[in-house]
Amino acid sequence: MIFERALRRELMSTAGAVFTTLFTITLTVMLIKILGQAAGGQVSSQDVLALIGFQALNYMPVLLILTSFISVLLVVTRSYQDSEMVVWFACGLSLTRWIKPVLHFGWPIIVLTAVLSFVATPWANKESATFRERFEKRDDISRVAPGKFQESALANRIFFVEGISGDASKVKNIFVDTFNDGKNSVVVAKEGEMEFDKDGEKFVVMNKGRRYDGAPTQPDFQMIEFERYGLLVGNQSQVALGEQSVRALATWKLVLLNTNLTRGELLWRMALPIMALTLMLLAIPLSFVNPRAGRSIGLLVALLLFVVYSNTVSVFQSSVAQGRIPFMLGWWPVHVVVALIVVSQFYWRLKVNNRYHPAIVWGNIRRARKQKRQSS
Of 161-165, 190-194, 199-203, 254-258, the poorest mean pLDDT is in: 199-203
Is pLDDT of 139 > 90? Answer: no
Do 82 and 119 lie in one domain? The reply is yes
**Which of these three, 212, 235, 258, is where a domain ends?**
235
**Per-residue confidence at 278, pLDDT binned at 50, 70, 90?**
very high
| Distance between CA atoms of residues 6 and 110, nearest Å | 21
Is pLDDT of 201 > 80? Answer: no
Mean pLDDT of 157-174: 70
Are the C-beta atoms of residues 14 and 77 closer than 8 Å to each other? no
Do 112 and 20 lie in one domain? The reply is yes
pLDDT of res. 158: 80
Is 183 a domain residue?
yes
Do 8 and 116 lie in one domain? The reply is yes
Is 277 a domain residue?
yes
Count the domains in the chain: 2
**Which of these three, 235, 267, 297, is where a domain ends?**
235
CA atoms within 13 A on the CB side of 63: 20
Do 256 and 294 lie in one domain? The reply is yes
Is 141 a domain residue?
no
Is 278 a domain residue?
yes
65 Cβ neighbours under 8 A, 6+ residues apart? 109, 113, 272, 275, 276, 279, 306
Q: Please name which of 27, 39, 55 lies closest in space to residue 129, comparing C-alpha atoms.
A: 55
Do 35 and 106 lie in one domain? The reply is yes
Do 254 and 203 lie in one domain? The reply is no
Q: Please name which of 161, 182, 184, 164 lies closest in space to residue 173, comparing C-alpha atoms.
A: 161
| Distance between CA atoms of residues 369 and 367, nearest Å | 5
Range of the domain at 322: 2-135+244-375
**Which of these three, 206, 235, 264, is where a domain ends?**
235
> What letter does residue 232 receive in the DSSP assignment?
E
Is pLDDT of 116 > 60? Answer: yes
* CA dihedral over 69, 74, 79, 85, signed as positive or negative: positive
Mean pLDDT of 271-293: 87
Mean pLDDT of 168-194: 78
Do 183 and 38 lie in one domain? The reply is no
Regarding pTM above 0.85, the answer is: no
Are the C-beta atoms of residues 74 and 14 closer than 8 Å to each other? yes
Are the C-beta atoms of residues 309 and 275 closer than 8 Å to each other? yes
Mean pLDDT of 139-151: 61
Do 179 and 80 lie in one domain? The reply is no
Is 218 a domain residue?
yes
Do 65 and 112 lie in one domain? The reply is yes
Is 140 a domain residue?
no
238 Cβ neighbours under 8 A, 6+ residues apart? none
Is 155 a domain residue?
yes
Mean pLDDT of 309-337: 93
346 C-beta neighbours (distance < 10 Å), count: 19
Do 285 and 356 lie in one domain? The reply is yes
CA atoms within 13 A on the CB side of 356: 9
> What letter does residue 118 receive in the DSSP assignment?
I
Is 229 a domain residue?
yes
∠ CA 347-314-308, nearest 5°, is: 40
The total number of residues written for the chain in this structure? 376
